[in-house]
Structure 1
Amino acid sequence: MACYSLFFSLILLLAAVCYGEEAFVYSRATYYGSPECLGTATGACGFGEYGRTVNNGEVTGVSRLYRNGSGCGACYQVRCKIPTYCSEEGAKVVVTDYGEGDRTDFILSTRGYAKLARPNMAAELLAYGVVDVEYKRVPCRYGNNLLLKVHEHSKYPLYLAIVPLYKGGIYDITAVDVWQEDCKEWRPMRRAYGTVFDTPNPPMGPLNFRIQVATESNVEVKWVQLTSAIPSDWKAGIAYDTAFQLD
């Protein structure tokens, strides 16, 4: 009987590994103040106003998880470790910025930090300032397609910078290429900073892109092609629907 129990336990462990269940990682978290307790529009990821309001303002800056900008847009479940004040579910937050604190992995918006608390316990938790937490990567779910926003600094038709918004699933965007029709080749775009990719003298006509996506540990890496994702008469500040979403 003991052998059968051991065998069954091993099967369950193997199933958990195969389905990609991640264990929680221990760390610390703090928060920053901002108007309306939302995120900041000047975050290092380059999201702008989206970075202030996405996910109902439950967002975070991260340190080592920023990974030179490829960690931008990732979603994490964060739970604090004070039983009296902390909820069991914690908060699901979106990475929109880079930040370093007192041995912290997460610097949450005030709204995100308050979400860690049990009902009516947010004020008590906020008084702590820094708390022990556990976290794990979780898929982002938005219910809409991936958007490519033309960054406000773009200058038609001489300079194009794009920012992916509402990236779903658990993939990180690690590279972006644009199709050069006259040369029949993919031209790499530069990661300007955060999740902003740019190129001088972009091709004319509707723009085709391919994006390289990878899991956080780079176990799976693949390319995804986006056809006519941005129109030929693109305008700075406009976000265009790609009609596609990452799983």
Structure 2
Amino acid sequence: MAPAPAQVIAVVLLTAGYTALAAGSPPAPIVWQRATATFYGGADASGTMGGACGYGNLYDEGYGTRSAALSTVLFNDGASCGQCYKIACDRKIDPRWCKPGVTVTITATNFCPPNNALPNDNGGWCNTPRPHFDMAQPAWEKIGVYRGGIIPVMYQRVPCVKKGGLRFKINGHDYFNLVLVTNVATAGSIKSMDVMSSDSKDWVPMSRNWGANWHSLAYLSGKQLSFRITNTDGQTLVFDKIVPSGWKFGQTFASKVQFN
């Protein structure tokens, strides 16, 4: 139901007041958090392909060699897939293996599983409650010295920068539609996703299946589809009729719409 005119005015006034207050406030300080980082995947990062976010070939999907697997507390059951982090080696803790004055920005594309057979501080780097990045080797070597193996790092979430719009790859079969969403800018990660078919006027919620894959159990085969996505920053975009009728499983559909 649309708000009454008085309500609209009140909202506008409140918004204007908030904007003025925000404009006069100093910017929030940048907060760096501490973690550790190792590397995997080889010098060309070929061993990082696939992964628990479901992106498959990271070269083809545009993630390249700037990626990382996150420990349990950072991965958040896949909700962090696609998020971007700026990482620097922490020279204050251990300067031996740090390259000075450099940072690297990575995308979360995989999960680093815990190894509870080893102590948290001696091999069980991805055990709970440790924040840890198992980075693609080329990304890690931007900030760390190879012989170090594991380095202390500082990190912060940063907006993801992407070219073009979101992409949707549909896998699965009748009554099980598995949609992989890639190339998500700004927040990088998705909070919720809905689908609407050409023979319906209602949005149907989808569920996170694993990583960046969302599924619907409705019969959608061959129907024209629209998606509605809310990212983890609370922004919502509608991708109207992004999937044409007659589509086949295994196809990818690129949009021109992007978060900003």
Candidates 67, 81, 103, aligned match of 1:72: 81
Aligned pair 1:170/2:187, yes or no?
yes
Tell whether the 8 Å contact from 1:31 to 1:109 is kept in structure 2 after alignment: yes
Post-superposition Cα deviations, 1:65-104, rounded to whole Å, max 9, x if no partner, equal 2122121011100001234632423211000011145144
**Following the alignment from structure 1 to structure 2, what is the Cα–Cα distance between the partners of residues 231 and 106?**
39
Q: 1:56 matched to which residue of 2?
A: 64
Cα drift, residue 208 of structure 1: 0.6
**Following the alignment from structure 1 to structure 2, what is the Cα–Cα distance between the partners of residues 27 and 52?**
29
What 5-or-longer segments of structure 2 have no aligned partner? 1-21, 115-123
Cα drift, residue 39 of structure 1: 5.4
Percent of paired sites with the same residue: 25
**Following the alignment from structure 2 to structure 1, what is the Cα–Cα distance between the partners of residues 33 and 46?**
25
Q: 1:135 matched to which residue of 2?
A: 155
Q: 2:205 matched to which residue of 1?
A: 188
Q: 1:202 matched to which residue of 2?
A: 220
**Following the alignment from structure 2 to structure 1, what is the Cα–Cα distance between the partners of residues 163 and 198?**
33
Cα drift, residue 41 of structure 1: 2.5
Aligned pair 1:15/2:26, yes or no?
yes
Q: 1:7 matched to which residue of 2?
A: none
Candidates 108, 118, 121, aligned match of 1:95: 108
**Following the alignment from structure 2 to structure 1, what is the Cα–Cα distance between the partners of residues 188 and 108?**
13
**Following the alignment from structure 1 to structure 2, what is the Cα–Cα distance between the partners of residues 163 and 192?**
10
TM, length-normalised to structure 1: 0.79
Q: 1:237 matched to which residue of 2?
A: 250
**Following the alignment from structure 1 to structure 2, what is the Cα–Cα distance between the partners of residues 22 and 245?**
25
Q: 2:19 matched to which residue of 1?
A: none
**Following the alignment from structure 1 to structure 2, what is the Cα–Cα distance between the partners of residues 40 and 53?**
13
**Following the alignment from structure 2 to structure 1, what is the Cα–Cα distance between the partners of residues 259 and 47?**
24
Candidates 37, 49, 52, aligned match of 1:29: 37
Post-superposition Cα deviations, 1:25-76, rounded to whole Å, max 9, x if no partner, equal 1111111234722452331111111378633311001122212212101110
Cα gap change, 1:241/1:110 in structure 2, threshold over 3 Å: closer, same or farther?
A: same
SS at match of 2:187: coil
**Following the alignment from structure 2 to structure 1, what is the Cα–Cα distance between the partners of residues 154 and 60?**
24
**Following the alignment from structure 1 to structure 2, what is the Cα–Cα distance between the partners of residues 198 and 184?**
19
Aligned pair 1:227/2:240, yes or no?
yes
TM, length-normalised to structure 2: 0.75
SS at match of 2:146: helix
Cα gap change, 1:13/1:44 in structure 2, threshold over 3 Å: closer, same or farther?
A: farther
Cα drift, residue 232 of structure 1: 1.7
Q: 1:81 matched to which residue of 2?
A: 90
Cα drift, residue 22 of structure 1: 3.2
What 5-or-longer segments of structure 1 have no aligned partner? 1-10, 118-124, 216-220
CA RMSD of aligned residues (A): 2.6
Tell whether the 8 Å contact from 1:38 to 1:110 is kept in structure 2 after alignment: no
- Counterpart of 2:167 in structure 1: which amino acid? L
SS at match of 2:164: coil
SS at match of 1:57: coil
